[in-house]
Amino acid sequence: MVETLTVSLGERSYPIRFGADLAGEVRAEADRLEAGGRKVAVLTDQNLARVQSGAFGAMFGRAPALALEAGEGSKSLAGLGRVLDFLAEQKLDRGGVLFAVGGGVIGDLGGFAAASWLRGIDFYQVPTTLLAMVDSSVGGKTGVNIAAGKNLVGAFHQPRGVFVSTNLLATLPAREFAAGMAEVVKYGLLGDRALFEQLEKQPLRVGSVELAAVIRRCCALKARIVEADERETARAGGRALLNLGHTFGHAIENVAGYGAYLHGEAVAIGLGAAARLSHQLDQLAPADVARVATVLAAHALPTRLREALPVGALMEAMARDKKVRAGLPRFVVLKALGEATTQEGVAPAMAEACFRAVGAV
């Protein structure tokens, strides 16, 4: 059964389609575009092109495709240049359409390339990892990393549609599935206590019968937040709540070197740090901090750094985060499990203590 959820953004509204196998739907959409005189090009990564070659062929046939090296290293200015050169080689005009088929790296990179090429062409998201399905494929945040920090270069550019085929998760490595679960836990913590408690009672696995429903649930929560604050301009709360765990996590990724941790792994450690900060601010009980760590560990996610990182470098990276306002980071903290809020004016010593608690020195 195929279900649809609409992200309602006026003229930028688009559907998220959910089903076990949507290869036929993706192919029909690509064929429809080409029948209308619009050239289609595809961006993916080499792992997906190899492991899911049958599904990829069913979706796109002989459409021109660029397969980049898998991993965070491709989400760079150099990677962006390769995609733009590919679009130029294919002679895509302003009616051209790019399909981004892969995980968060490909979705973010492809979306930014689409936003940049000829000052903006249409693109579609076909997420193939759990993290991309529940989070990064929805909402229109696109971008690349630079040495100074994660996602500091990018644009808001909404897709024209998102196709979530859960059968694609069957070949996802266990580590990648776990990384996606960090974002699922995040959604439970920031706005769906019942989901968090569900994950406490029974950890979610790739074969869980509840998986498809949980993916839809996370997308619905994100869609409603994005609709209310598309460009993250709310003075408090709003879309910034989706950054729970990310202020700490992005700093970890930057200092450790992009690729040392999967994004979801860094976010998991960041969620634990954010819970500790919430306790320091007298908003979360110690028992709830422990519950967060327990749920993360139950989903094979790290709760501490694998190797110590210098707290000074982590604090410097945090100071360059795009969420900094008036020179100070803006944190997302928990008022309770299932309820998040933004917090400004956090003393640097508090953030340092949270980094040290997860293994920084």
Condensed to tens digits (0 to 9), the pLDDT of residues 38-70 reads 999 999 999 999 999 999 999 999 999 999 999
Report the C-alpha dihedral over residues 269, 275, 276, 277, rounded to 10 degrees: 110
Residue pair 149/254 in contact by the 8 Å Cβ criterion: yes
Catalytic residue among 91, 119, 201, 235: 119
Does the domain at 174-357 match CATH 1.10.1060.10? Answer given as: no
Q: How far apart are CA 205 and CA 194, in angstroms?
A: 18
Query: Which of 292, 235, 285 has its CA nearest to residue 269?
Result: 292
Q: Tell me how far apart the alpha carbons of residues 254 and 252 are, in angstroms, rounded to a whole number.
A: 5
Structure tokens, 134: 């529940």
239 given a catalytic annotation: yes
Catalytic residue among 39, 186, 250, 291: 250
At 143-172, the pLDDT tens digits run: 999 999 999 999 999 999 999 999 999 999
Asked if the domains at 3-171 and 174-357 fall in one CATH topology, the answer is: no
Tell me which residue has tokens 């000829």. 118
pLDDT at residue 345, rounded to an integer: 87
pLDDT band at 86 (very low <50, low <70, confident <90, very high): very high
Element (H, E) at 4: strand 3-7
Domain ranges in the chain are 3-171, 174-357
Q: Is 39 a catalytic residue?
A: no
For residue 42, the SS3 value is: strand
Catalytic position from the list 239, 276, 291, 330: 239
Per-residue pLDDT tens over the stretch 289-335: 999 999 999 999 999 999 999 999 999 999 988 777 766 788 999 99
Which amino acid, 1? M
DSSP string over 113-159: HHHHGGG--EEEEEE-SHHIIIIITSS-EEEEEETTEEEEEEEE---
Mean pLDDT for the chain overall: 96
Q: Which fold has domain 3-171?
A: Rossmann fold (3.40.50)
Catalytic residue check, 119: yes
Q: How far is CA 207 from CA 166, 203, 220, 247, 262, in A?
A: 10, 11, 22, 31, 22
